[in-house]
Amino acid sequence: MTSEAIPLSGSRAGKTHRMSAAQVIIGSAVLLAVAIVASLSLGPTGITLSSLPRALSAAISGTTDATIAREQLVLLDIRLPRTLLGIFVGASLAIAGAIMQGLFRNPLADPGLVGVSSGAALFAVATIVLGNGIAAPILAPLGIYALPVAAFFGGMVTTLILVTIAGRHGQLMIGTLLLAGIALGALSGALTGLLAYASDDRQLRDLTFWSMGSLGGANWPKILAVLPFGILIALLTPLLIRGLNGFLLGEAEAFHLGINVERTKRIAIVATAASVGAAVAMAGVIGFIGIVVPHIIRLLAGPDHRVVLPGSALFGAALLLFADIIARLIVRPAELPIGIVMAAIGTPVFLHLVMKRGIGGSE
Amino acid sequence: MLTAHAAAFQINGKTLVSDIDMAIPPGKLVALVGPNGAGKSTLLKLLSGEIKPTSGAITLDGRALSSFTALDLSRRRAVVPQSTALSFPFSVREVVLLGATVPGFAEPPEHIERMALDCLRTVGLLALEHRLFTNLSGGERQRVHIARALLQLAMAKRAENEPGILLLDEPTASLDLAHQGVVLEEALEQARKGLAVMAILHDLNLAAVFADELVLLSAGRITARGTPAEVLKDDVLSRAYGCEVRTNRTPSEGVPFILPHYIRAR
């Protein structure tokens, strides 16, 4: 499609002071690269920048270098899976936020805020608590995929209920959406609490982790479990770019511009549920990233989804890695739940958004 | 040609429009007029393919409109909405470009860029190219949407025998006298270039000056159709609008014009 190559932002001179799409994408990519290096080297066991390449190549090739055996082990078993999971979770949550905001035409729509994350968490918790009991016949055949698949359905069910409730009159009503989302989130939270009663000690510790979010449990099987979801999201997201751009003008206008509105909505719902479900299944509920990241990209480069979606993925991954680095360094040797760090970063940005735009989203 | 055959639309047991037989011929500017609640917007939605008739049919070149994909339709017809609020800050130029990039028309980017500026010039908004759409006045927003629709029709590849269709929902609603003229002049110009143009107009005087054909809708039915001189008659209008209407003619050109009767009571 040649039209993809049209410059995305307004020119440098004029009323819209924006960076170009290339600047934002490259800037985010550089930031992510820095975050990856920092995430691999920082932690209770410091790995110096000079030994990082050596330890990395040794870890990947499987050879053993006696002088850096410890670094190699830390890198392979802890840092690499943790960093990869951070990239996946950050990118997924940011993309899910961007898609939801495009779908609902409101910058305040966020999977965490409208209960999609809570719905995914509820299903994930139910999988843990009931996985060995009554739900075993359904869940056992899924193996390592049981958790992300369950969370995916939790996110999907919540999103479908939201779209049904808020879209009754042909157009998605944002006030209804937010209220219904808060109600669904509260219900999911309550049911999650109910499950806590039915859980044993070890499960209870897991549940705390769900509500706060953490990358601490990252390991290679988890990376393997989210891989299909990563591929699905990467395949679906590009299909949404033109549709979400059309949605910015309105649903009827998107149709007039040749967009299959219902198909776009369905893809958006599946992509959101897959992103949120897999992210929540692996790292618990991490709020705000879905609001903050797309908001910053839009401020920098404008609302065109050709830059908002890939930019959010890169920037979201970088932001989550930095938040995780803070989470694991600030109270060494203990670890802070990453949800707390994200809330500290996200709350001011969110409040700024609310004050600037009001709940309706239009200025 | 875009044609309605005995089209009707009902919702929740209420008939919004019925017995609609009309066509929008290429090269003509058709004005859809009528009182509030007559079903003008519903008819426009039927003709755009946004909603399907509950009975009868809407066809494009003899084929049911519902059998076209959204993308195929977007190559043939563009719609200018009454007003839209944007929640995200697009610049004026970016909104116009959406007319070509959302359907994904495969034209060279430089060509699309150039045409977008041409379309902005056409509606007199070239100077506002970089302004944020969200900061514009209602009238300016409407003209941006017109430029977007013009770009859509200009960039879509169509065969010689497939003229474009432009549907405008009250394009002059929030415009001042001068800009009402600019916009309808342009609509007429587009018709003369071969497009089939239909505009919902509230102002009968504007319809009298610019339209080739008037379609008068009243209580969901077409009650009169023809040239301005044929439709703009005292009895026809009085019945349709439910108030006494007297038409006059401008002394030099003989164009019908209407002053509502209540002015005389003062």
What CATH number does residue B193 fall under? 3.40.50.300
Domain with residue A231: its CATH number is: 1.10.3470.10
Does A127 fall in a domain? Answer: yes
Which element (helix H / strand E) includes A60?
Answer: helix A52-61
Q: Does A246 contact B81 at a Cβ distance shorter than 8 Å? A: no
Residues B246, B224: Cα–Cα separation, whole Å: 17
Q: What is the residue range of B207's domain?
A: 2-263
Is residue A282, in this structure, part of any structural domain at all?
A: yes
Domain presence at residue A271: yes
pLDDT of residue A14: 40
- Cross-chain residue pair A256–B50, CB shorter than 8 Å: yes
> Is the per-residue pLDDT at A172 higher than 70?
no
**CA distance linking residue A166 with residue A173, whole number of Å:** 5
Q: Is A363 at the interface with chain B, CB within 8 A?
A: yes
Q: What is the pTM of this model?
A: 0.87
pLDDT in tens, A44-72: 777 777 778 877 787 777 777 677 777 78
> Does the residue A273 lie in any domain?
yes
Residue with tokens 């497939």: B162
A298 closest CB neighbour out of B88, B95, B97: B88
User: Rounded to an integer, what distance in angstroms lies between the CA atom of residue A28 and that of residue A297?
Assistant: 9
What value of ipTM does the predicted structure carry?
Answer: 0.93
> What's the gap in Å between the CA of B166 and the closest CA on chain A?
11
Q: Residue A360 has what pLDDT? A: 39
Considering chain A, what percentage of its residues have pLDDT values greater than 70? 88
The answer to whether position A63 is within a domain reads: no
Domain that holds residue A191: 28-36+84-357
The total number of structural domains that make up chain B: 1
Question: Mean pLDDT, to the nearest integer, of A291-306?
Answer: 91
Assign B261 a pLDDT band (cuts: 50, 70, 90).
low
Spatial distance between the Cα atoms of B205 and A275, rounded to a whole number of angstroms: 56
Tens-digit pLDDT profile for residues A311-363: 999 999 999 999 999 988 888 778 888 888 888 888 887 787 777 654 434 43
A20 belongs to a structural domain: no
| Residue A318 placed within a domain | yes
- A298–B50 C-beta distance less than 8 A: no
pLDDT digits (tens, 9 = 90+) for B149-168: 999 999 998 888 899 999 99
How many independent structural domains does chain A possess?
1
d(CA A213, CA A324): 10
CB contacts, 8 Å: A249 with chain B: 84, 86, 95, 98, 102
Neighbours of A283 (CB within 10 A): 30
* Strand spans (E) along chain A: none
Q: What percent of chain B has pLDDT over 70?
A: 97
The two tokens of residue B120 are: 């902005």
Tell me the C-alpha to C-alpha distance, in Å, between residue B229 and each of B21, B191, B217. Answer: 21, 20, 16
Query: Which residues lie below 8 Å from residue A208, measured CB to CB, with a gap of 6+?
Result: none
- Residue at B232: amino acid letter: L
pLDDT band at B189 (very low <50, low <70, confident <90, very high): very high
How does pLDDT run across B87-114, given as a tens digit for each residue?
788 899 999 999 999 999 988 999 999 9
**Which residues 159-188 of chain A have a CB within 8 Å of chain B?**
none
A/B interface, count of CB pairs below 8 Å: 133
Q: Is residue A14 in a domain?
A: no
Asked if A250 lies within 8 A of B104 by C-beta distance, the reply is no
Q: Helices A220-247 and A305-329: crossing angle, nearest 10°?
A: 140
